[in-house]
């Protein structure tokens, strides 16, 4: 497709920024991405993500058909379940995610995706358009253009600047002063172990039906999930140029524990602790849990232990559209307790892509197009922020009588198929 005259620069080559770049390239709009990482492989972007029907649709809209096919074929096994259990592995509620409710749609489905594979796919074909080692520091607006300044002293200019630079967005710090996310006080201590036959034998069988949320009597919760590439996926990985034998993109189990920071008893700043020290903290927190879960903690790879501070955005009043706009965590960062942050970033990317393409085709003025995107994004984006915060608060709240009642309610729901069906997400 011949290039349309609008030019767009994207700050940040994460999930949202790269999806937008793919979409704009597909639509023939001139685009460039500026990413602070030195190379595509500077940071291991581990862990799986759950891509829901809305995220799948957004990727389908933005990716060219051959990359969509690779995305579709290289996903993980997805059994469609989600189970809540006590720390003694007694089942509270098993929810089946039912693809029949989305009409077994070939695109709009739930998927389990490797972040590493997704990144390879999103970068594919953008080799000339993504500029690495470009740390954005500030921008200035001139008549009809935006100029970005980078830490190496270089600059770039375009008609539109899109902030896709994540939760610590430098663009947001300059553009929307009141939109800084706040620290929730909750931390997630997470780790990973390789899915060997030995590890498989140790897993609670329900884990093979989908992720587990463990609800112990103390104010904390743990998340366990298996990432396993679906049969046949390796063939398509080779089409992506990835030999799985020699890549970091292997099958694994993730185990994360979330709680208020003070309840971990870190001793010193958790961000300065080494893997073995972090594992000791984890070990102490699960010392009374089911032996299978304790054993899994022992197997976690020390080098992959990571503490994550959980932050959340606050609702932002509407602003007047300009040539600078934002997407994803840069504007609506949310707790990971509903597992939807990346899906909303993808939805932003697809919607902004459609609006910028309309402007590039002369169907509407540029600022009208950006304003329409921002009005819709504020609505669904901050609704997702609120529901993700609520899910975190429920999972990490002090346990009182309400917790006992909630556990009983889950068990009742679990025993009555009609009630259980009502708990299923669409």
Ligand X SMILES: Cc1cc2nc3c(=O)[nH]c(=O)nc-3n(C[C@H](O)[C@H](O)[C@H](O)COP(=O)(O)OP(=O)(O)OC[C@H]3O[C@@H](n4cnc5c(N)ncnc54)[C@H](O)[C@@H]3O)c2cc1C
Binding site for ligand X (CB under 6 A): 11-17, 34-37, 49-50, 134-136, 164-166, 170, 188, 308, 328-330, 336, 339-343, 345
Nearer of residues 7 and 335 to ligand X, judged by Cβ: 335
CB of 238 to ligand X, least distance (A): 26
User: 128 and 3 in contact (C-beta within 8 Å)?
Assistant: no
Q: Give 161 or 359: the residue with its C-beta nearer to ligand X.
A: 161
Which residue number, 8 or 345, has a Cβ lying nearer to ligand X?
345
* Residue with Cβ nearer ligand X (326 or 369): 326
The tokens describing 384, both together, are 């997702």
Nearest distance, CB of residue 23 and ligand X, angstroms: 13
Nearer Cβ to ligand X, position 26 or 311?
311
Residue nearer to ligand X on the CB measure, 176 or 413 = 176
Q: How far is the CB of 198 from ligand X (least distance, A)?
A: 25
The least distance separating ligand X from the CB of residue 158, rounded to whole angstroms, comes to: 15
The nearest distance, CB 348 to ligand X, in angstroms, is 8
What is the nearest approach in angstroms of ligand X to the Cβ of residue 424?
A: 18
- Minimum Å gap between C-beta 168 and ligand X is 6
What does the angle CA 181 – CA 187 – CA 190 come to, to the nearest 5 degrees? 125
Mark residue 103 as left, alpha or beta (left: phi above 0; alpha: psi -120 to 50; beta: remaining).
Answer: left
CA distances from 191 to 87, 203, 305, 335, 375 (A): 18, 15, 5, 18, 38
- SS3 for the chain, per residue? CCCEEEEEEEECCCHHHHHHHHHHHHHCEEEEEECCCCCCCCCCCCCEEEECHHHHHHHHHHCCHHHHHHHHHCCECCCCEEEEECCCCCEEEEEECCHHHHCCCCCCCCEEEEHHHHHHHHHCCCCCCEECCCCEEEEEEECCEEEEEECCCCEEEECEEEECCCCCCHHHHHHCHHHCCEEEEEEEEEEEEECCHHHHHHCCHHHHHCCEEECCCCCEEEEEEEECECCCHHHHHHHCCCCHHHCCCCCEEEEEEEEEHHHHCCCCCHHHCCHHHHHHHHHHHCCCCCHHHHHHHHHCCHHHCEEEEEEECCCCCCCCCCCEEECHHHCCCCCHHHCCHHHHHHHHHHHHHHHHHHHHCCCCCHHHHHHHHHHHHHHHHHHHHHHHHHHHHHHHCCCCHHHHHHHHHHHHHHHCHHHHHHCCCC
Closest-CA residue to 264 (of 214, 307, 305, 304):
307
Residue 12 or 23 having the CB closest to ligand X: 12
Q: How far is the CB of 17 from ligand X (least distance, A)?
A: 5
State in angstroms the smallest separation of the CB of 303 from ligand X.
17
Q: Pick between residue 342 and residue 356 the one whose CB is nearest to ligand X.
A: 342
Name the residue nearer to ligand X (CB basis): 57 or 188.
188
Compute the least distance from the CB of residue 93 to ligand X, in Å.
Answer: 19
When the beta carbons of 170 and 279 are compared against ligand X, the nearer one is 170
Residue number closest to ligand X, CB atom: 14
């Amino acid at each position: 497709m011949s290039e349309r005259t609008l030019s767009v620069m994207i700050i940040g080559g994460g999930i949202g920024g790269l999806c937008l770049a793919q979409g704009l390239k597909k639509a023939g709009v001139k685009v460039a991405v500026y990413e602070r990482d030195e190379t595509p492989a500077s940071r291991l972007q581990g862990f799986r993500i759950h891509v829901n029907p809305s995220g799948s649709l957004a990727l389908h809209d933005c990716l060219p058909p051959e990359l969509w096919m690779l995305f579709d074929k290289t996903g993980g096994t997805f059994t469609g379940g989600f189970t809540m259990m006590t720390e003694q592995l007694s089942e509270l509620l098993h929810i089946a995610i039912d693809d029949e409710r989305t009409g077994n749609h070939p695109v709009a489905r739930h998927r389990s995706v490797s972040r590493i594979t997704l990144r390879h796919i999103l970068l594919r074909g953008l080799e000339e358009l993504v500029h690495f080692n470009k740390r954005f520091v500030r921008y200035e607006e001139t008549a009809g253009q935006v100029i970005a300044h980078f830490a190496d002293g270089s600059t770039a200019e375009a008609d539109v600047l899109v902030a896709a630079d994540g939760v610590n967005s430098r663009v947001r710090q300059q553009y929307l002063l009141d939109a800084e996310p706040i620290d929730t006080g909750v931390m997630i201590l997470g780790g990973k172990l390789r899915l060997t036959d030995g590890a498989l034998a140790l897993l609670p069988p329900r884990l093979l039906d989908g992720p587990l949320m463990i609800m112990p009597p103390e104010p904390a919760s743990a998340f366990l999930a298996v990432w396993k590439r679906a049969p046949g996926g390796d063939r398509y990985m080779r089409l992506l140029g990835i030999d799985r034998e020699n890549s970091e993109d292997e099958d694994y189990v993730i185990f994360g524990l979330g709680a208020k920071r003070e309840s971990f008893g870190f001793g010193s700043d958790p961000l300065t602790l080494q893997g073995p020290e972090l594992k000791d903290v984890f070990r102490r927190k699960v010392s009374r849990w089911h032996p299978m879960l304790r054993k899994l903690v022992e197997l976690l790879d020390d080098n992959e232990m990571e503490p994550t501070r959980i932050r959340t955005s606050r609702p932002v009043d509407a602003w007047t559209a300009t040539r600078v706009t934002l997407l994803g965590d840069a504007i609506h960062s949310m707790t990971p307790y509903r597992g939807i942050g990346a899906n909303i970033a993808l939805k932003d990317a697809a919607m902004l892509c459609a609006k910028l393409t309309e402007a590039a085709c002369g169907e509407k003025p540029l600022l009208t197009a950006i304003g329409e995107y921002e009005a819709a994004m504020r609505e669904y984006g901050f609704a997702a922020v609120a529901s993700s915060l609520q899910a975190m608060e429920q999972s990490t709240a002090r346990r009182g009588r309400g917790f006992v009642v909630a556990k009983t309610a889950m068990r009742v729901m679990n025993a009555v198929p009609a009630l259980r069906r009502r708990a299923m997400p669409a």
